[in-house]
Amino acid sequence: MSIDYPQQVTIIDVGARDGLQNEKQPVPTEVKLQLIDGLIDAGIKKLEATSFVSPKWVPQMADNSDIMAHIAQNRRDDVCYSVLVPNMRGFDNAVAYRPDEVVIFASASEAFSQKNLNCSIAESIERFAPVAAAAKAQGFKVRGVISCTVGCPYEGEVTPSQVATVCKQLIDIGAEHLGIADTIGVGTPIKVQNALKAAFDYIDVANISGHFHDTYGQALANTLAALQLGVSQFDTSVAGLGGCPYAKGATGNVATEDVVYMLHGMDIETGIDLDKLVSVGERISEFLGRDNGSRVARALINKRK
């Protein structure tokens, strides 16, 4: 069987947002900005810079305005800066900084929606509709990410038809891109492929991204399975940083370094300098006092010694 893999893949590094949002120790804005600048210097062309959520819910993202003010001063035209926005309050706070993309985030499971957004899926879609409309009116792209597309920490297994329902709802309110997330990293390749296929009826595969947390060590296999379906955009986190505050025990997204190493080994272009990326991941891991969550980074650092 011959498989046509994409020749090029876009990596969206989510380390500064998904990677740090759950971090208990305060991470100074300066350190986050160094992380973002380092990622861009390593060739990252798309990243989640921060989220305009309630600081009562996610204190680590309370410096969202400072992050975006710095970016507004130093922005690069060839980089797409994305921010998460849960409601119009968040949009109003974000709009002055002109993010390139606004990410609205719903869930395929009711219980996770309640924990993460304090409302039902239907209510979240109602809140996101004006956000999507306002973002488009400002010329910002709109990406809709769906959490718990294979499993939920509260409800267990999630079916592709649950995913399809939310895909349709997000498209109906104006999402131009859909992210399929395995929030707790329980997915295995065929299940993840089925979740991705649930989006195919609503949007071209070119506008679908995979967002795979690595809790069970399946995220790289799931990335390969997604590539086999023609998915060519992935949310990944440098050094494997992160976790979601409302998915206890879930680890970060698959490490950017690990995905880049795999892609380059398959002759798939990313535009990323792996060596520089490894240094960026090592710096933030050292700051946080954590082992580097990227296997590739650990191997390459050992080789450097």
- Enzyme catalytic residues: 244
Window of 72-80, 129-137, 225-233, 244-252 that interacts with ligand HMG by CB under 6 A:
244-252
Amino acid at 79: V
223 binds ligand HMG (CB under 6 A): no
Please, which residues have CB within 8 angstroms of residue 249's CB and are 6 or more apart in sequence? 153, 184, 215, 243
The token pair that represents 210 in the structure block = 């995979």
Strand pairing category for 156-157 and 151-152: antiparallel
- Dist CA 40 CA 292 (whole Å): 19
180 binds ligand HMG (CB under 6 A): no
- What separation in angstroms does the CA of 231 have from each of 10, 57, 180, 190, 206? 10, 32, 11, 14, 7
- Dist CA 303 CA 305 (whole Å): 5
57 binds ligand HMG (CB under 6 A): yes
Window of 12-20, 36-44, 91-99, 102-110 that interacts with Mg ion by CB under 5 A:
12-20
135 binds ligand HMG (CB under 6 A): no
87 binds ligand HMG (CB under 6 A): yes
* Least CB distance to ligand HMG at residue 211 (A): 5
Binder of residue 167, out of ligand HMG, Mg ion, none (CB less than 5 to 8 A by kind): none
Window of 33-41, 85-93, 269-277, 289-297 that interacts with ligand HMG by CB under 6 A:
85-93
Binder of residue 52, out of Mg ion, ligand HMG, none (CB less than 5 to 8 A by kind): ligand HMG
Beta strands in the chain (DSSP E): 10-13, 46-51, 80-84, 101-107, 141-147, 151-152, 156-157, 177-182, 208-212, 233-236
120 binds ligand HMG (CB under 6 A): no
293 binds ligand HMG (CB under 6 A): no
Among 36, 53, 180, 255, which residue sits at the site for ligand HMG (rule: CB under 6 A)? Answer: 53
Chain centre distance of CA 191:
19
244 binds ligand HMG (CB under 6 A): yes
225 binds ligand HMG (CB under 6 A): no
- Dist CA 215 CA 254 (whole Å): 9
Strand pairing category for 10-13 and 80-84: unpaired
90 binds ligand HMG (CB under 6 A): yes
Write out the residues near Mg ion by the rule CB under 5 A: 18
Q: Which residues bind ligand HMG (CB under 6 A)?
A: 18, 21, 51-58, 84, 86-87, 89-90, 93, 105, 116-118, 145, 147, 181, 183, 211, 213, 244-246
